Amino acid sequence: VNTRKVVQLFFTTLIIGSLSGTIVGLLLDLDLYTSGSVANLIVGIIWIAGISAAFSLIAQMGFFAYLTLHRFGLGIFKSVKLWNWVQVILIAFVVFDLIYLRYIAFAQEGETIFHYMVMPLALLVYGAIIAYLKAKDTNKGAFIPALFFMVVITSIEWVPALTVNDPKWLWVYFAPLIAANTWQILILHRLQQQ
């Protein structure tokens, strides 16, 4: 991959992440942005786009960190099969932690753990779909690394929002991360083929 393709990946990811976060942020709090003047709407859009752009940049750092981690993992474990098993165990650990740790930190009286299972399991299912598409476009060996990236790396990038229990901010932070990560994982092999 040459410099031009890296720059192209950077800007397309930034745009996709920013747009997705802005759209989700506006939809979640539409009354806040549309009540008042047009200036309120414009400032609100700029603010949400800025936050979304920042999380898109975090997603890009996570992507390149994962590419490095993946190479280290292959070198340390000396076997693709063993490295894949380590990644599967880490995926299970992260999904469990997303459910259990948030439950013990934020559960209100009468709330069950099932309420805290929705987003992590949805992330796991979505990650599996994206990993399937990646494996279909490249080779079956890409499934586990793509699933690991979509679940584990996205969760690590999502930590600032996970420390509060505000559904609006969970989604505002999650939208640019998941959009940017999806784009990066699905486009990388195409950039390499060009």
Q: What is the pLDDT of residue 184?
A: 96
Helix locations, the chain, DSSP H: 3-28, 30-34, 38-77, 80-106, 118-137, 143-148, 154-157, 159-162, 167-193
Residue 176: count other Cβ atoms within 10 Å of its Cβ. Answer: 33
Q: What is the pLDDT of residue 194?
A: 65
Rounded to whole angstroms, the Cα distance separating 86 from 81 reads 9
Q: Is 139 helix (H, G, I), strand (E, B) or coil?
A: coil
Q: What is the pLDDT of residue 29?
A: 86
Rounded to whole angstroms, the Cα distance separating 126 from 180 reads 14
Global pTM reads 0.91
Asked whether 148 and 87 are in contact (CB, 8 A), the reply is yes
Q: What is the CB-side half-sphere exposure of residue 175 using CA atoms within 13 A?
A: 23
Could you tell me how far CA 11 lies from the centroid of its own chain?
17
Q: What is the pLDDT of residue 71?
A: 94
**What tokens were used for 102?**
């948030």
Q: Which residues of the chain have pLDDT under 70?
A: 1, 194
Asked whether 87 and 73 are in contact (CB, 8 A), the reply is yes
Rounded to whole angstroms, the Cα distance separating 32 from 28 reads 9
The amino acid sitting at 163 is T
Q: What is the pLDDT of residue 38?
A: 87
Rounded to whole angstroms, the Cα distance separating 180 from 182 reads 5
